[in-house]
Amino acid sequence: MEHSKGDVEIIQSMGDHIQKHIGEIAVVFHENVSTDVHIDVYHVAPSRSRPFHTLITCGMSGRSMSAPADWEDGRFAELMICLPSSWPVDATAFENEEYYWPIRILKGAARYPHENKTWLYAGHSILWHDPPQPFAGNTKMASIVLRYPLMVSADARTIQTGGGKHILLWAVVPLYAEEWEFKNRNGFEALDDLLLENGISELLDPKRTNVALEQ
C-alpha cells in the first residue's frame, strides 16, 4: 500500500514522538488488508521504567474525524492501550483471540469514527455488540471508553506532525456492560471518578473489579 505525503509525515512524527516520550519501538504490527483507513500498531516492550507493554495506533489520524465546529482540536487522534508484561505480544500469540482481542478493539476503535462518520474524544464510549457479549473467553468486558492516558506523561498526549497536524492521543479502557450502562445513566465524569477511585487506567486487567456493581 503506497503512502501519501501526509501518511509519511504521520508515520515519521508518530515514530519520533513515541521514541521520545514513551520508549523504544520494539516492532510495528503492519496491517496487510485495510478498509477505510490503514491502521498499524506500534509496540513498546516492557522496560524498567515502564514494566508493561504499550500499544499505539498509527493511521487513525490519516483522515479527519467529523468533530463539531467548536471542537476543531478533536479532528485527529490516535489510540493506546497497555498490557501486563506477562501478556504474549507476537504474531503467533495473536492467533489466539484471548491474546489478540485488545489489539482488535484498538484497531476497531481507530476505524469506528471513519466508518460511522462521527468522532471520538475523551468520554466517548462504544458498545461492541448489542446485546453485549464479552470480547473473548478470558474476560467479561464488552465495551470501551476513551480517557486521557494515565500511563504516559502529559507531553505524550499530543503529537505534532511536520505538516502542522495536531493529533491527540487517547487511552482505550475496556469496560463491563454494566459500567457502560452506568456511564449512560450518570455521565462520563461519574464513571471516570469510579475508575480513578479504583486505580483503573489503560493498563488492562481483563478480570478487574466491575466498579458499577459496587454502586
Q: What is the pLDDT of residues 37-49, one digit of tens each?
A: 889 999 999 999 9
For residues 82 and 84, what is the distance between their CA atoms, to the nearest angstrom? 7
1 pLDDT more than 50: no
At residue 203, the pLDDT reads 98
What's this model's pTM, rounded to 2 decimal places?
A: 0.94
- Reported as a pLDDT band with limits 50, 70 and 90, residue 99 is very high
pLDDT of residue 215: 67
Grid cell of 88 as nine digits: 504474549
Closest CA to 165 of 71, 70, 76, 36: 76
DSSP states of 72-131 = GGGS-EEEEEEEETTS--STTGGGSHHHHHHHHHHHHHHHHHHHTT----TT-EEESSSS
Q: What is the mean pLDDT of residues 94-123?
A: 96
The pLDDT of residue 32:
79
Predicted confidence (pLDDT) at residue 210 exceeds the cutoff of 50? yes
Per-residue pLDDT, 19 = 96
- The DSSP code for 2 is P
